Amino acid sequence: MHPIRTLLPIAALAATLTAVAQDAAPTAAPQPTAAPATQAPATNAAPATTAAPAPQPAAPQAAPAPAAPSIDPAPTTQAEVRERIELTRDALEKWVETRRTIGVERRDWALGKDLLDSRIDVLDRELKTLADRTKEVDATLTEADRKRDTLAQEAGTLKDASAQLAAMAAQLETKVKALVKRFPTPLAEKLKPLTQRLPEDSAATTLSLAVRFQNIVGIINEANRFNREITQSSEIRKLADGSSVEVTAVYLGLAQGYYVGAGGRIAGIGRGAPEGWTWTESNDNGPAIERIVAILRNQKPAAFVPIPVKTN
């Protein structure tokens, strides 16, 4: 019950107790009264004697008035009445204050309970969210472990493949180094940036496999292109007598080469060898080689020109 709702009946009860205490003064019980005795009417009596009066029955006594009901012995003085009223009022005030305190505590408890319920709901939701995230993280970790195992297997496979490619690159580099020695001067000069990047020791090189294969492929591609073409270039050739002369060299791919100079009076034939190109003087073929140079320079019409060719 709310404490305010109890004030009206409590005040009414206090007023009633006060009125009853003021009216409850001690009163004397009514005294019973005896009924007067009545004489019997005179009768013809005997002349000499007088009859004695007959005994009359006693009058009935009035019943005592019922006493006023009381909880405690009724106070005998006004001071006791006032003291009793003050005690009752104090008790009622304490009771009212106690009820008010109980009401406030119940209200605060209800508010606190609602607040705790709300916080419990929030914490439950957070716990559920954390549980869901934990499951997601566990699933992610499981997937990550699976991918890690897969990547480890792939890394092992790639490592084996890398070892095989490194061995293949070392073999190709050895062959390319031997091939570069057979390149004529124009091709060797053109490929110098790539040939200089070939490692001296393939087993101890720090170059990546990509760079090593790029060098190998670049050298082979240029060699193939040179081998499909007829190339002419100006060179300084050292003759047998020790003199040097400027000549025009013509290369039929990588298989055969010729040079001519001094108006066709000096000529020679060259071929690729394991340690480099070797040139042999052949002045008799000077006019024919001179004609080939003129045809290549579009100075003479195309024609079949007989010239010596030797293959290994």
The number of beta carbons lying within 10 Å of the beta carbon of residue 248 is 19
Residue 217: its pLDDT value, please?
Answer: 94
Provide the pLDDT for residue 276.
86
| Residue that the structure tokens 């929030």 belong to | 122
Closest to 260 measured CA to CA, from 303, 293, 302 = 293
pLDDT of residue 10: 52
Phi and psi at residue 130, in whole multiples of 5°?
-65, -40
Q: What is the C-alpha R_g of the chain?
A: 72
Domain annotation covers residue 68: no
DSSP classification of residue 246: E
Does residue 231 contact residue 186 with C-beta atoms inside 8 Å? yes
Is residue 283 domain-resident? Answer: yes
At residue 98, does pLDDT exceed 90? yes
Average pLDDT of the segment spanning 229-233? 91
In a domain, 276, yes or no: yes
Cβ pair 259, 270 in contact under 8 A: yes
Q: How confident is the model at residue 13 (pLDDT cuts 50, 70, 90)?
A: low
Question: Is residue 260 a contact partner of residue 237, using CB atoms and an 8 Å limit?
Answer: no
Q: What pLDDT is attached to residue 73?
A: 56
pLDDT reported for residue 127 = 92
Indicate whether 217 belongs to any domain.
no
Spatial contact of 287 and 264, defined as CB atoms under 8 Å apart:
yes
Higher-pLDDT residue of 28, 198: 198
The sheet carrying 266-271 orders its strands as 230-238, 244-252, 256-261, 266-271, 278-281
What pLDDT does residue 15 have?
56
Helix (H) or strand (E) segment spanning residue 234: strand 230-238
pLDDT band at 18 (very low <50, low <70, confident <90, very high): low
What pLDDT sits at residue 129? Answer: 92
Residue 102 within any structural domain of the chain: no
Work out whether strand 266-271 and strand 256-261 pair parallel, antiparallel, or are unpaired.
Answer: antiparallel
DSSP 276: S
Whether 265 is covered by a domain: the verdict is yes
Q: Is residue 61 part of a domain?
A: no
Does any domain span residue 164? Answer: no
- State the residue for tokens 């013809």: 44
Q: Which residues pair with 69 in a beta bridge?
A: none
Q: How many domains does the chain have?
A: 1
- Give the range of the structural domain holding residue 261, as residue numbers without chain letter: 231-312
